[in-house]
């Protein structure tokens, strides 16, 4: 396992470098938008990665609630933090692209708003983790994750109904996309996921170590002789 980490690191670096080259120089320029569309290669893979990590967080939270396994909790923490980072990238790159193409920074369209609400829920999740201490933090956080997951369909549905009565800017449908663009998209996604996994790995290890430190401290507090 120890050797796997540097291998993954090298793989990530290669993938990110290659996919950057593909996205910037190889992928065809968009007919309508010109070069500015290339930010989509960072925007969309970040969104997919964010959803993947949030899904991981949800599954780990459910596992924790059922099994009370501290490893599941460490997975949940690490996944939530990395998910928030990717989601932030999505929310920042989106407006940068939307301004020249749509002419506006932001619109309360269902996809944008749901992503924003998802980000808000997970930021509140991280704040809850920061403010709760001791053994109850995982339980509280896991139940919040379950509530967030239950909330998302309602959020999407309500905003979809709220906004589809108005005309809204539409991104080109999947069908009209050049197959070469798909290829670069997936390549970037692979690079981002590898990078996410790399950070996730370290963060997970850190959380496990912190759990061990806490446990040792608790044991020492109970029995002073054990520290000698």
Q: How big is the site for other proteins, counted in residues (CB under 8 A)? A: 30
Q: Residue 156 or residue 201: which is nearer to other proteins going by CB?
A: 156
- Identify which of residues 47 and 121 has a Cβ nearer to other proteins in the complex: 121
Angle subtended at Cα 24 by Cα 21 and Cα 27, rounded to the nearest 5 degrees = 95
- Residue 81 beta carbon to other proteins: minimum distance, rounded to whole angstroms: 17
Binding string, 55-74, against other proteins, x = CB under 8 A?
A: ----------x---------
Q: Minimum distance between the CB of residue 172 and other proteins, rounded to whole angstroms?
A: 28
Residue from 70, 128, 177, 208 touching other proteins (CB under 8 A): that is 128
Phi, psi of 34 (to 5 degrees): 80, -155
Single out the residue of 131, 176, 222, 224 in contact with other proteins (rule: CB under 8 A). Answer: 131
With b for 16 or more beta-carbon neighbours within 10 A and e for fewer, the 205-219 pattern comes to eebbeeeeeeeeeee
Q: Cβ 85 to other proteins, closest distance in Å?
A: 18
Is 83 a residue that touches other proteins (CB under 8 A)? no
Nearest distance from residue 154's CB to other proteins, in Å?
A: 4
Provide CB contacts within 8 A for 22, sequence distance 6+: 183, 184, 187, 188
SS3 202: helix
Closest by alpha carbon to 148, among 115, 126, 121, 170?
121
Nearer to other proteins (CB atom), residue 90 or residue 181: 90
Report the distance separating Cα 104 and Cα 65, nearest Å: 43
Distance CA(68)–CA(57), nearest Å, equals 15
Residue 67: both structure tokens together: 């099994």
Is 33 a residue that touches other proteins (CB under 8 A)?
A: no
Residues that bind other proteins (CB under 8 A): 65, 117, 120-121, 123-124, 127-128, 131-136, 139-140, 143-144, 146-148, 150-151, 154-155, 157-159, 161-162
């Amino acid at each position: 396992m120890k050797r796997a980490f540097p291998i993954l690191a090298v793989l990530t670096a290669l993938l990110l470098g290659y996919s950057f080259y593909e996205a910037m120089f190889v992928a065809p320029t968009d007919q309508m938008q010109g070069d500015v569309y290339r930010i989509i290669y960072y925007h969309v893979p970040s969104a997919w990665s964010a959803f993947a990590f949030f899904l991981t967080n949800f599954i780990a939270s459910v596992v924790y609630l059922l099994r009370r396994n501290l490893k599941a909790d460490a997975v949940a923490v690490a996944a939530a933090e990395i998910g928030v980072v990717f989601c932030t990238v999505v929310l920042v790159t989106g407006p940068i692209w939307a301004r020249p193409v749509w002419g506006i920074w932001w619109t309360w369209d269902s996809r944008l708003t749901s992503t924003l609400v998802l980000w808000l829920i997970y930021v509140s999740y991280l704040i809850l983790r920061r403010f709760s201490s001791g053994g109850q933090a995982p339980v509280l956080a896991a139940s919040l994750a379950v509530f967030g997951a239950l909330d998302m369909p309602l959020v999407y549905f309500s905003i979809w109904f709220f906004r589809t009565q108005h005309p809204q800017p539409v991104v080109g449908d999947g069908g009209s996309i050049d197959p070469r663009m798909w290829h670069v998209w997936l390549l970037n996604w692979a690079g981002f996921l590898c990078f996410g996994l790399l950070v996730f790995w370290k963060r997970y290890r850190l959380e496990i170590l912190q759990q061990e430190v806490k446990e040792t401290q608790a044991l020492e507090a109970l029995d002073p002789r054990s520290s000698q």
